[in-house]
Structure 1
Amino acid sequence: MNLLEILTVGVVATAASDIWQQAQKPLTGIPAANWPVTGRWVIGWRDGRIYDPMIGKRPSLKGEAPVGWAFHYLIGAVYAALYLSFVVVIAKTVPTLLNGLLFGLVTLLAPFLFMKPALGGGFFGLRAPNPEKGLFLSISAHAVFGMGLYLGELFYQGLF
């Protein structure tokens, strides 16, 4: 495992999730994640606003879109590093579609227990408007991210 492998796996998995979010939108009417608002949240950390339930009502900030997208892909790379470390180093096995999918679903803990509550949506996003849509999008996007971890590894190995 090396930095190029981690970045490749993380970018492929995150891009797969982003493509899924755009592909499902015409069928379900559920909009993709709003990464500029995430960027606004991240920028707000410097002012001590980690818990910011009013984030959606705050004015846009200069640079929030690139910050949000960069944060999104950085988290994807961190998850890829954790996934590869667990699978290869700790479990001493290889990435598979199943362990990628399972890991992707485990990554739901972060948005469900930290990010959604921090942005005012409550645990699992149940206080957000249309929580069932948010749950569908989160679960499906993280499942696709998990499958993307495996596809990213295949791509890195030159098998895809």
Structure 2
Amino acid sequence: MPRSAHRLSAAAVVAAALLLTVTSSAYADHDDRGTDPDNRNQAVKGFSLTTNGTNAMNHGKSELERSVINTSWGGGDIEVFDANYGKTGWHGTTDCTDWNALWTSCDIIRVRLNTYQSKTASQWRSLGCHEFGHTADLGHRGAGNDKDNNSCMRVEIWPTRYDQHDLNAIKAGT
């Protein structure tokens, strides 16, 4: 084999190892890497929500209360919206709209709930739990690290609560 082929092969092995390391660590620490809350006290406010959106917000807020994060009403930290965002491929999305001056944590986190797809009352609760999990910097979980299928951070099923793994990750991360 020519020397250049050995170098290319070695580079491919190193790149694959790095990719696996990054992927594994993302699941290990459960970090969403995008919505680090600025503290353990989060004020929540809904904006012109439907009944389903209100129920999702209330359930998400109550699930955060099970963790080390304290919530209150009034806004300033978590802003919740729902609307028919169309055929986007997502039921909900969470992002930071105001990073602190050092870009190390998020001062205002926006939660958007898509009313386009029909959902049961239980699915709305699961969606609220899931999106509020992102406000606590939780990432998605898969079957590999949610073997008992009980985390609302799963995307292909609809549990309505955080499991102990989620609660531990919130405690470790905030």
TM-score, structure 2 length as denominator? Answer: 0.28
Of Structure 1 and Structure 2, the greater strand share is in: 2
Max Rg structure: 2
Q: Report the TM-score, using the length of structure 1 for normalisation.
A: 0.30
